[in-house]
Amino acid sequence: MKPSPSFAFEASAVYRLPLAAGLSKQGPFVTIKNHDRLTSVEVIQDNFEKRGYICNPQIATAVFLAYHLEKPILIEGPPGVGKTELAKTAAEMLELPCIRLQCYEGLDESKAIYEWKYGKQLLYTQVLKETLSEILEGAKGLTDSVAKLHEFGDVFFSEDFLEPRPLLKALKAEDSCVLLIDEVDKSDHEFESLLLELLSDYQLSIPEIGTIVANPDRKPLVFLTSNNTREISDALKRRCLHLYIPFPDATLESRIVHARVPDVPEKLRTQLVTFIQELREMDLKKVPAISETIDWARTLILLHTESLDSELVRQTLNVILKFQEDIETVEAEIQNVTNKALKQ
Amino acid sequence: MDRTLVDFVKVLRTAEIKVSPAETLDAMQTLNIVGYEDRQFLKNSLSIVLSKTPEEKEAFDSCFDRYFSFNKFKPEESEQESSDDQFDDGEFDQDAKGEAQPGGKGSGQASGQGGGEEASEEDQSLQPTSELGKLLLSGDRTELSIAMAEAGRQAEVNQIVVFTQKGLYTRKIMDAMGLKELQDEISELQSEGGRERQNLADKLKKARDRLREQVRDYVEKQFFLHADESGKQLREELLKKVKLSNLEKRNFKDVQEVVFKMAKKLISIHSKRRKTYKRGQLDVRKTLRHNMQYDGMFFDIKWKASKVDRPKVMCICDVSGSVSNYSRFLLMFLYSLAEILPKVRSFAFSSDLGEVTRLFDNSNLEDAMAKTMRDYGNGSTDYGQMLMDFKHQCMDDVNNRTTIIILGDSRNNYGDAKSEILREMYDKSKRVIWLNPEPKMSWSVGDAEMKKYAPCCHQVEVCNSLTHLERVVSNLLRYAY
């Protein structure tokens, strides 16, 4: 992504803007660890690449903006394009802990935010029974004892008895963290609404204790992923940056394979990427994603392959295709597609 | 600068990208961080902030390209290449080229220098006096573009709605840029005679014509940006309100689109399955199971809840000539809602009733409609026969969860109304809704039997436009619990 010098805006032309304020002047808003790895899109791309995650400018831009605008990213795209991987790599890059919340149907606040340690509360009430009578000694009448008890406040509903779940943990993390909320679309509508407070204000309310706010200088970097099995509500979308990761083009995919499976000779790599790209054009129930390409590359290495041939493809087809129907559809075309791949 | 962005957001909204004010604010913040230096970077950033589905992203890309494109003034023949750069960079790159070209605006005698070196030599003594004339001859195309955009804003070109306004807005913009003074000057120069003056007048004329073309181009672009989609919206609004029987075949495709949009909205509103909690009724089993983890102490008490069922809809449509259009769109509506209304059974009749559910399951909407019309569409309407057929065919399937929708004008050709069967349906089902496309006043005029049927329905509605249909279906979903 090179800055193109020959470019101007029609509508903006009327206003004489000073050169838009660069980042260096504004300085980073947030001081999390290793924030220097987020100073520009190119830096992010480089840093991701060092960790084996090849990304296009859009992805890097999203991470860049998420950090500078302090907004969560909602990542959508077909399965296996590296949505979850992006969050994990970001955590690795910033050397922050990655707290992950896997969503599923029926997930509720006691699993996602906090829960009271009932057992502990129970145990303590039992143990403290005797202490209680000591405290109440000398109190006359019921009102007096109740007043005395009130002095102790809500001992059993304090943070000591609170079991933090991923979302709360992320808020309370000392040096910030990366919070990954995986497959939001699998959760219920109610859960989406639960997330809103966290996503817009980086805070959570617990009735018995109050509002817990993230350290304003160390807000967690939040990633949400969705496979689009259902429409995410507008309220949630509005609070997030939206990143769509499509299947990569041939060059990008080739680079990804190279980064992940460096042993693959270049010739084979071009062939297998072309083959996969061809498959994606076909009418399949589930087209192979990047993760399948990588698996296949590994398989071919294990089999000491130098170059694709149709017999080999036939035997290893089950690595890239996960439905019998698809395998049957492709088998008829193998010769054709392999030849195309070999021509490259 | 904010105005540019707000205008852009407006353009996005006409292109059916939902941008909330909060998101606009986000976009402004993004601008502060990203800046204008790098077009691709800016595009990526705004796309991430403003567009929230893959479809929206696509629309965003084309909007961005169209909105932030610069109207290039075609370079004059005599012009040097170097000024091209100056133009492209616009305001962002002022240092280098700025020195080379003193830019015609400031010092009086310098104006015209940038334009054509050899031309200015002979006209040294003669300079255009009007602002626009100076600008045109100075050849500073950036300045010219800016002036045009400014004039465009004054003329409120973003309010353009229909293409016939193009001429009007071109004229307005030209006026705002100072066409009148230029004209005066040209005629003055011409009347005074003299070779040099004539020359200058000719040059100005040429420049003026070129400018007019540019402005026309500019207006055209603005039209595509602002009006193309809003024209469509206008049409859709109209379609929603028009009487369905007045629709012509060529409109069907548009209407179908509108129906799908409405259906999508309804789906997103109603897709959540509701539970009603009967507070006060303890769910013993659930409570026991759940509280095992707390040593059997009942900390967390569970109440009985029942899931609210989706309505089972049976839809009986009159498909005789007069009402067939309404039936078509009602069915279209119901089947677009398949995601949240999975169990729709549909029947068609003019005299004999037949179930057409299969047809709709197996083929697409268009074919199914056509087949239905072919099989049931002719014959005189007989509501009595229809009710008898219904009783024979599927009265047994009607239970207290069934909602029956009947669409028809109840014009029975003076036959036996058989309203007692409808009464039976009323008793057995959860709800009977009668939709009548005719206005209320004609419900009991002539052979219409509405008076007899109405007491046997839970709900009777006039229904003759898409808006009505939407309301009926929405109520159906809302109160079905």
CATH number of the domain within which B468 lies? 3.40.50.410
Give the model confidence (pLDDT) of B161-175 as tens digits: 777 777 888 888 888
Ranked by mean pLDDT, the top range of A116-120, A155-159, A181-185, B311-315 is A181-185
Residue B106 lies in a domain: no
pLDDT of residue A148: 77
Give the model confidence (pLDDT) of B227-285 as tens digits: 666 667 777 777 777 777 777 777 777 777 788 777 777 777 776 666 666 667 888 88
Residue in A305, A248, A338, A296 with CA at minimum distance from that of residue A330? A338
* Closest CB to B23 among A5, A119, A238: A238
Chain B nearest CA to A306, separation (Å): 39
Residue A242 pLDDT grade (very low, low, confident, very high; cuts 50, 70, 90): very high
Considering only residues A90 and A21, tell me which one the structure prediction assigns the higher pLDDT: A90
Strands B303-307 and A162-164: unpaired
Residue in A4, A181, A209 with CA at minimum distance from that of residue A98? A181
Give the model confidence (pLDDT) of B184-217 as tens digits: 888 888 887 777 888 888 888 888 888 888 888 8
Q: Which two tokens stand for residue B448?
A: 């219409």
Residue B106 pLDDT grade (very low, low, confident, very high; cuts 50, 70, 90): very low
Ranked by mean pLDDT, the top range of A247-261, B181-195, B285-299 is A247-261
The C-alpha atoms of residue B347 and residue B447 are separated, in whole angstroms, by: 23
The C-alpha atoms of residue A48 and residue A40 are separated, in whole angstroms, by: 12
pLDDT of residue A76: 92
Mean pLDDT, range A6-32, rounded to an integer: 40
Is residue B310 within a helix (H) or strand (E), and if so which, with residue range? none
The C-alpha atoms of residue B279 and residue B171 are separated, in whole angstroms, by: 71
Considering only residues B389 and B305, tell me which one the structure prediction assigns the higher pLDDT: B389
The C-alpha atoms of residue B88 and residue B70 are separated, in whole angstroms, by: 9
Long-range contacts of B126-130 (CB under 8 A, 24+ apart): B126/B196, B126/B197, B126/B200, B128/B185, B128/B200, B128/B204, B129/B185, B130/B178, B130/B181, B130/B182, B130/B184, B130/B185
From the candidates B52, B67, B156, B218, which should be mutated to test the interface with A, based on the most A CB atoms within 10 A?
Answer: B52
Residue in A193, A121, A198, A201 with CA at minimum distance from that of residue A166? A198
The C-alpha atoms of residue B123 and residue B134 are separated, in whole angstroms, by: 13
Give yes or no: residues B322 and B288 share one domain. Answer: no
Which residue in chain B has the smallest CA separation from A238?
B23
From the candidates A1, A2, A6, A10, which should be mutated to test the interface with B, based on the most B CB atoms within 10 A?
Answer: A10
Mean pLDDT, range B25-46, rounded to an integer: 89
Is residue B149 within a helix (H) or strand (E), and if so which, with residue range? helix B141-154
Out of 3.40.50.150, 3.40.50.300, 3.40.50.1450, 3.40.190.10, select the CATH number for domain A29-109+167-244.
Answer: 3.40.50.300
User: Taking the domains of chain A in order of start, what are their residue ranges?
Assistant: 29-109+167-244, 114-162, 250-343
pLDDT of residue B91: 39
Residue in B405, B460, B464 with CA at minimum distance from that of residue B450? B460
Give yes or no: residues B188 and B63 share one domain. Answer: no
pLDDT of residue A35: 75
Task: Report CB contact under 8 Å: A12, B31.
Answer: no
Whole-number percent of chain B with pLDDT over 70: 82
The C-alpha atoms of residue B178 and residue B211 are separated, in whole angstroms, by: 12
Mean pLDDT, range A249-257, rounded to an integer: 90
Asked if A308 and A338 touch (Cβ cutoff 8 Å), the reply is yes
Task: Report CB contact under 8 Å: A11, B33.
Answer: no
Asked if B432 and B423 touch (Cβ cutoff 8 Å), the reply is no
Q: How many domains does chain B have?
A: 4
Report which DSSP code applies to A256. Answer: H
pLDDT of residue B24: 92
Strands A114-116 and B275-282: unpaired
Name residue B462's beta-bridge partners: B436
What residues contact residue B443 under an 8 Å CB cut-off, 6+ apart?
A: B410, B436, B450, B451, B454
pLDDT of residue B67: 83
Give yes or no: residues B334 and B447 share one domain. Answer: yes
Residues of B in contact with A73 (CB under 8 A): 48
Residues 72-131 of B with CB under 8 A from A: 85, 88-93
| Phi–psi pair at A53, nearest 5 degrees | -115, 105
Ranked by mean pLDDT, the top range of B62-71, B117-126, B137-146, B177-186 is B177-186
pLDDT of residue B464: 80
pLDDT of residue B367: 81
Give yes or no: residues B142 and B217 share one domain. Answer: yes
pLDDT of residue B93: 38
pLDDT of residue B47: 92
Position A101 pLDDT exceeds 90: yes
Strands B402-407 and B312-318: parallel
pLDDT of residue A14: 34
Name residue B355's beta-bridge partners: B347
Position B1 pLDDT exceeds 70: no
pLDDT of residue A153: 65
Position B315 pLDDT exceeds 60: yes
Give yes or no: residues B185 and B291 share one domain. Answer: no
Give yes or no: residues B465 and B336 share one domain. Answer: yes
Residue B250 lies in a domain: no
Give the model confidence (pLDDT) of A69-93 as tens digits: 889 999 998 888 889 999 999 999 9
Task: Report CB contact under 8 Å: B48, A65.
Answer: yes
Choose the weakest-confidence range: A19-28, A201-210, B45-54, B350-359. Answer: A19-28
The C-alpha atoms of residue B189 and residue A323 are separated, in whole angstroms, by: 82
DSSP string, A134-196: HHTTT--HHHHHHHHHHTT--GGGSGGGEEE-HHHHHHH-TT--EEEEE-GGGS-HHHHHHHH
Instruction: Count other C-beta atoms under 10 Å from residue B291's C-beta.
Output: 17
Task: Report CB contact under 8 Å: B39, A22.
Answer: no
* ipTM passes above 0.85: no
* Closest CB to B69 among A10, A65, A118: A10
Mean pLDDT, range B38-61, rounded to an integer: 89
Mean pLDDT, range B146-154, rounded to an integer: 80
* Closest CB to A9 among B3, B36, B85: B36
Task: Report CB contact under 8 Å: A23, B33.
Answer: yes
Whole-number percent of chain A with pLDDT over 70: 90
Mean pLDDT, range B141-147, rounded to an integer: 76
Q: Would you give the end-to-end CA distance of chain B in angstroms?
A: 51
Written as one letter, the residue type at B2 is D
Residues 32-71 of B with CB under 8 A from A: 32-41, 44-45, 47-49, 51-54, 57, 67-71
Asked if B80 and B119 touch (Cβ cutoff 8 Å), the reply is no
Cα–chain center distance at B100: 49
Which residue in chain B has the smallest CA separation from A68?
B33
Tell me which residue range forms the domain holding B138. Answer: 118-238
Residues of A in contact with B92 (CB under 8 A): 5, 7-8, 19
Give yes or no: residues B348 and B473 share one domain. Answer: yes
Position B61 pLDDT exceeds 60: yes
Task: Report CB contact under 8 Å: A242, B52.
Answer: yes
Chain B nearest CA to A232, separation (Å): 10
* Closest CB to B88 among A1, A8, A241: A8
pLDDT of residue B109: 37
Residue A13 pLDDT grade (very low, low, confident, very high; cuts 50, 70, 90): very low
Which residue in chain B has the smallest CA separation from A246?
B54
Give yes or no: residues B213 and B295 share one domain. Answer: no
B6-44 burial code (b ≥16 CB/10 A, e <16)? ebbbbbbebbebebeeebbebbebbbebbbbbbbbbbbb
pLDDT of residue B479: 60
Mean pLDDT, range B298-315, rounded to an integer: 78
Position B407 pLDDT exceeds 80: yes
Position B154 pLDDT exceeds 90: no
Position B117 pLDDT exceeds 60: no
Cα–chain center distance at A17: 37
Residues of A in contact with B91 (CB under 8 A): 8, 13, 16-17
Position B115 pLDDT exceeds 60: no
pLDDT of residue B308: 66
pLDDT of residue B71: 52
pLDDT of residue B271: 66
| Residue B205: exposure state from Cβ atoms within 10 A (0-12, 13-18, ≥19) | middle
Average pLDDT across chain A, whole number: 83
Residue B450 lies in a domain: yes
Give the model confidence (pLDDT) of A159-215 as tens digits: 888 888 999 999 888 888 999 999 998 888 888 888 998 998 899 988 888 888 888
Give yes or no: residues B302 and B411 share one domain. Answer: no
Which residue in chain B has the smallest CA separation from A56?
B44
What residues contact residue B23 under an 8 Å CB cut-off, 6+ apart?
A: A238, B49, B50
Residue in B213, B94, B87 with CA at minimum distance from that of residue B143? B87
Give yes or no: residues B283 and B208 share one domain. Answer: no
Number of A to B CB contacts under 8 A, please give it: 142
Average pLDDT across chain B, whole number: 76
Task: Report CB contact under 8 Å: A8, B91.
Answer: yes
Give yes or no: residues B293 and B327 share one domain. Answer: no
Residues of A in contact with B51 (CB under 8 A): 242
* Closest CB to A21 among B32, B90, B145: B32
Position A3 pLDDT exceeds 90: no
Distances in Å between the alpha carbon of B127 and those of A9, A87, B101, B175? 31, 65, 18, 21
Say which residue the tokens 């406040």 belong to. Answer: A153
The C-alpha atoms of residue B68 and residue A96 are separated, in whole angstroms, by: 39
Strands A203-206 and A210-213: antiparallel
Mean pLDDT, range B356-385, rounded to an integer: 80
3-state SS of chain A: helix, strand, coil percent to 5?
55, 10, 35
